[in-house]
Amino acid sequence: MRSVVAPLRHNAKSTTKIAGTLACAVLASAPALAAQCDTSDAGVGLDSAQARLHCVEKAEGENDRRLNAAYRLLLGALKDEADQGTFTRSHLVAAQRAWIAFRDSECELKADLAGGAPQWRAVNQAQCVSDLTAERAGELLRDSDAANDH
């Protein structure tokens, strides 16, 4: 996650509603962006790699915004309760930091293993980051639903 913005200083219900609306708005734009990337130049040269990287970076940015919205939504639903021995908010923060380190290392590995022409390494790495970020955003949204059900 590149830039988690602190939750708004409103009551928990309004923060959850705002973050949920933002998550839905960002999620709605993802299919259009994916379709645009799928129709980009299918060549293998440097120009194709640069065009694909540009497209993948746009998708990565959208997925990053979606991840941040889902993270804020879940973070707003959790709290640490030391008297009860539960630290769900702290555990989320620690888990997210660990996940980011995992994602970045995993994508470095995937880019190394993909091989191919050097101009495609950055494309492969960015695609991996985008895909894993989208998956994590979905996980956090599901966790947020579960947290709000309790």
Task: Please give, one letter per residue, the 3-state secondary structure of 29-74.
Answer: HHHHHHHHHHCCCCCCCHHHHHHHHHHHHHHHHHHHHHHHHHHHHH
Of 35-39, 63-67, 121-125, the poorest mean pLDDT is in: 35-39
> What's the mean pLDDT in 57-76?
97
For the chain, what are the domain ranges? 12-149
Contacts with 110 (C-beta within 8 Å, 6 or more apart), sequence order: 124, 125, 128
What pTM does this model have? 0.72
More confident residue, 117 or 19: 117
CATH number of 12-149: 1.20.1270.180
Residue 3 has pLDDT above 50, yes or no: no
Count Cβ atoms below 10 Å from residue 117 Cβ, excluding itself. Answer: 11
More confident residue, 70 or 149: 70
Predicted pLDDT of residue 119: 86
Predicted pLDDT of residue 7: 36
